[in-house]
Amino acid sequence: MALERTFSIIKPDATRRNLTGKINAMLEDAGLRIIAQKRIRMTQEQAETFYGVHKERAFFPDLVKFMTSGPVVVQVLEGEGAVLKNREVMGATNPANAEDGTIRKLFGESVEANSAHGSDSPENAAIEIAYFFAGAEIVG
């Protein structure tokens, strides 16, 4: 399998509980390398654009409010099959349905406050990475 990059977010429910290090250790243990990382407060505009695909969904306003409610850590992860691998380590969207040992099972509080985001395809990963990082900030 080829080296691939994906975009990851440690969400506000996780930064609030000081879980950045624990989540990063799980990503690294899975063979993913954190090649860019910064802690930011997402603006309303960034959250609305980032989750724009969901803008017609009933949960969209709540989701934007949640994603701007505290600091997030945005990351670029690199590894073999990084997109799928990261989705595996995160687990299902709803922590109640996530496999044991996954980030969302261990740390997720609800279907919304589910601790982590990971790109769902290499195409979206490229778009999401470019939205939050300049090329020079990514050191592979």
- 86 is a site residue for ligand RTP (CB under 6 A): no
Q: Is 47 in the site for ligand RTP (CB under 6 A)?
A: no
Sole binder of ligand RTP in the list 59, 61, 88, 137 (CB under 6 A)? 59
User: Token match 């990059």: residue?
Assistant: 5
From 15-23, 32-40, 77-85, 109-117, span contacting ligand RTP (CB under 6 A) = 109-117
> Which residue among 30, 34, 111, 138 contacts ligand RTP (CB under 6 A)?
111
117 labelled catalytic: yes
Residue 112 binding ligand RTP, by CB under 6 A:
yes
Output the smallest distance, CB 92 to ligand RTP, in A: 7
User: How many other CB atoms are found less than 10 A from the CB of residue 106?
Assistant: 16
Q: How far are the Cα atoms of 2, 90, 106, 131 from residue 22, in angstroms, in the given order? A: 27, 13, 10, 26
93 is in an annotated binding site: yes
State the number of CA atoms in the 13 A half-sphere of 25 facing the CB. 5
What is the C-alpha to C-alpha distance for residues 49 and 45, in angstroms, rounded to an integer?
Answer: 6
* Cβ-contact 74, 7 below 8 angstroms: yes
Contact 115, 9 (CB under 8 A): no
Active-site annotation holder among 117, 118, 125, 129: 117
Footprint of ligand RTP on this chain (CB under 6 A)?
54, 59, 63, 93, 111-112, 114, 117-118, 120
Residues designated catalytic: 117
